[in-house]
Structure 1
């Protein structure tokens, strides 16, 4: 690999010209990855459901998800080192598995990414209501506040890359306060439970028919949500300086730092709760808020809500940033309807049309919230789609690696034989977790929900996959690729 070539020249080898502004440093890419994975968004969404399904022992499901996703993060880091192109999974699978498969994986990825933006907006709306209102918001109010979240995130993204960087830096500061600083205070000064409680369920298995194992698996399905988003770093490769080196470094650092923060926060909250049995029964609706405000006092309520809101908003901004780039990469290759419009880059050198389109779709997804509390359903949607994509990418990478179609050692990140073992283990983990998340569970559906809602993840993604197959068969998007980007050989092999 010639490290002296320019980033633009590197990009030209893949058939693209430099259209986006290449101004992101390793730190800026780290900020995007950190804000997207977001320990605040991840843990605050998971902890409530974790207590309900597994009691204080829920923390071990988070540990298991962290270890499994660490394998996936390493595979993604290898791929991002090899292919420094905006589009991430779509570009990787297209080149290693063929354009048809690349389109299908990219299609599911886009649907999952939009679902994740919807989920973050819906969860963030709860904190926004806590700041400006009292009691529990109506379903319509909750959805409206979620739309506000999406609109604000879009507005900031449309200002350009530099404002986004500033807001993400503010988000990292908020995450540090809301997660690390508060967690350390809780652990040192406000611990009400011993470490032995981490091995107790406090009767949570009753929700899963009396089976602690079933409750743990349900908790593990939800815990997977806490470790999504590290691939956001790969979507800004064409805006990053020295992406072959910077992107994989930022990806791994963001993932590990977020994982540390998530585990620290989960441990602190579990040990600081005065009455953990109330979190199991649902009497304590928000264990994190209860642990913090009980420990620090009533004066901390509003400041804590503001800090958490900043973190949620930074997460929404970052998600919209990378979704816009993913759609742009698809449209640039003429793979979507209205591709010419979606691939438009404005004066600020950002894909503004793609950003607007994804914001509208995410806003429409919020309508699911009109049918009562949709938090668990939306988390299952977002997690399910991403884990299907993770699995597809890991399998394609493994097949390409073992068949000689891909030579990972040609990239800047060189793992050698351990890379193959990690890839195999990643496939095993993802196969298990994808099935676990998609498994139909009454307890994850809205109260009184129909069988359609219980099977929602399987049904929705089966329909999306079927639509994708029909589109590939009829529209044949793989035949519309620009001529100079249709090469199927891996450049660095």
Structure 2
């Protein structure tokens, strides 16, 4: 049966114009674990809990549900696309087949920089938790040092091969899920200071007389959480029966990750000893307050250790996704240095040079924090909105292809619901991007208040200049813009693009 699946996978990939020397050693469960640790409910919830609770009060909990439903629509569209095009690199090859080479190049450019910045942001975000675990006062320098160490660790692990990556992702998933459940259950049973009705109590928070703007600000907690499912598709050529397995792993990432995040958030909200202190800014770090009250200094350090496992797993998964994107770019001759970036190691069967680049670039961003702290805050603000932009470029690309006659023909399709879900995913994504980019700090410097649209304009502007000047999309002969032509067809495009080993 496994030989039959392997032959079928190879034939499907050949029909799409590619051959591959990746090892298909990642099970569907391990593929899901990669997406889960990238999404990382513990990292997402713990990092933004205090800020979003202060901004919107306990009803911020419902943002996780609403954003999760919106991102599920996006996930379903991605599932249809990857099922028909299970090609390593995720959003770049999908965009190439749905729309064309220029669109694909820009999608890859935006997503690649978003991943680089996200790796740096998550690594730096681990600093305060490491300090709490080891018992020293965090500072900008220590946070940067810890971030660099995490980046090096992730690079070394990823260079060890897909199987090692899969096992550590699985370990991270188990630790994170069990940690979230154990800590959450303990808090609900022994440290509940708030009634369940507090989830509907706004504590009279209002902006210009309305609670809605405050809730929209608090909803950023969910928007910075619900991505990572796309990483399941980034390693499509390393997963057996990818056409069926990856859409399933993507949905599992949303379901399990979303429930885990909501449970962790619920437990923390109900364990807040003084809600007014959080909202008025007296308690600026409610997570530490809650854990110290519940577990004491020693117990809270153990919890912080679990949180650190989540951060390490998250950086590892992010880097794996970024390297496969870069490899996919290079295999289609779409980037400088393609001959090196598309090479797979003959022993570990991973893109060695691409992984090293995906370690060096985040490290450079991290090191900029030594001298340009304000600038780094602006750069990091691009992390989430860049990923959302890339997502919506795929969603809009899928809609474009549907209007030209594309009928998804993979193992997973939405059937007659496809168009409706596609429109819903696009509407959600556009509104989410507007909400994320909306300036909310009128008293801050203009480059901070408009950090997201500013950083987005810079990234897209530089990409357009480079694309027009160098025309990188003109190199390579891989198939492009053919999704609607392949609807229902099993004929292979002429030629195949192979790996360099």
Contact 2:331 2:342 in 1 (8 A): yes
Instruction: Give the match for residue 278 of structure 1.
Output: 277
Which of these residues, 475, 479, 486, is aligned with residue 485 of structure 1? 479
The change in CA–CA distance for 1:246 and 1:204 in structure 2 (over 3 A counts) is same
Instruction: Give the match for residue 497 of structure 2.
Output: none
Deviations for 1:43-102, whole angstroms, at most 9, x for unmatched residues? 112212211211112112222211111111111111111111012111111111111011
Q: Is there any run of 5+ residues in structure 1 with no aligned partner, and where?
A: none
1:492 Cα shift? 4.0
TM-score under structure 1 normalisation? 0.92
User: In angstroms, what is the RMSD of aligned CA positions?
Assistant: 2.2
Instruction: Give the match for residue 235 of structure 2.
Output: 236
Which of these residues, 78, 82, 85, is aligned with residue 84 of structure 2? 82
TM-score under structure 2 normalisation? 0.91
Q: For residues 7-406 of structure 1, what are the structure 2 equivalents within 5 Å?
A: 7-135=9-137, 137-202=138-203, 204-205=205-206, 208=207, 211-347=210-346, 348-367=348-367, 369-370=369-370, 380-404=381-405, 406=406
Within 2, Cα distance between the matches of 1:89 and 1:298? 44
SS in 2 for 1:282: coil
1:226 Cα shift? 1.0
1:103 Cα shift? 0.7
The structure in which a higher percent of residues are helix is 1
Q: Which moved more, 1:123-132 or 1:319-328?
A: 123-132
1:428 Cα shift? 0.6
Within 2, Cα distance between the matches of 1:381 and 1:222? 15
Q: Which moved more, 1:5-14 or 1:317-326?
A: 5-14
Contact 2:134 2:301 in 1 (8 A): no
Contact 1:52 1:204 in 2 (8 A): no
1:260 Cα shift? 0.3
Within 2, Cα distance between the matches of 1:51 and 1:423? 32
Deviations for 1:430-484, whole angstroms, at most 9, x for unmatched residues? 11011111122217xxxx7521122121111112112221222222122212x35
Within 2, Cα distance between the matches of 1:377 and 1:212? 27
Contact 1:192 1:271 in 2 (8 A): yes
Contact 1:225 1:379 in 2 (8 A): no
Question: Aligned pair count?
Answer: 482
Within 1, Cα distance between the matches of 2:5 and 2:343? 31
Which of these residues, 452, 456, 465, is aligned with residue 470 of structure 1? 465
Contact 1:125 1:149 in 2 (8 A): no
Contact 1:114 1:358 in 2 (8 A): yes
Q: Does 1:458 align with 2:457?
A: no
Contact 1:411 1:492 in 2 (8 A): no
1:270 Cα shift? 0.3
Instruction: Give the match for residue 435 of structure 1.
Output: 434
Deviations for 1:208-257, whole angstroms, at most 9, x for unmatched residues? 56642222111223430110111000000001101001111111011110
Contact 2:101 2:473 in 1 (8 A): yes
The change in CA–CA distance for 1:118 and 1:204 in structure 2 (over 3 A counts) is farther
Contact 2:188 2:267 in 1 (8 A): yes
Deviations for 1:106-162, whole angstroms, at most 9, x for unmatched residues? 110111111111111011122112223422x22122112111111111111111122
Deviations for 1:393-447, whole angstroms, at most 9, x for unmatched residues? 111111211320x212x1111221122211111111111011111122217xxxx
Q: Which moved more, 1:182-191 or 1:349-358?
A: 182-191
Contact 1:66 1:259 in 2 (8 A): yes
The change in CA–CA distance for 1:284 and 1:177 in structure 2 (over 3 A counts) is farther
Q: Is there any run of 5+ residues in structure 2 with no aligned partner, and where?
A: 489-501
Q: Which moved more, 1:140-149 or 1:290-299?
A: 290-299
Q: Which moved more, 1:274-283 or 1:354-363?
A: 274-283
Contact 1:179 1:261 in 2 (8 A): yes
SS in 1 for 2:230: helix
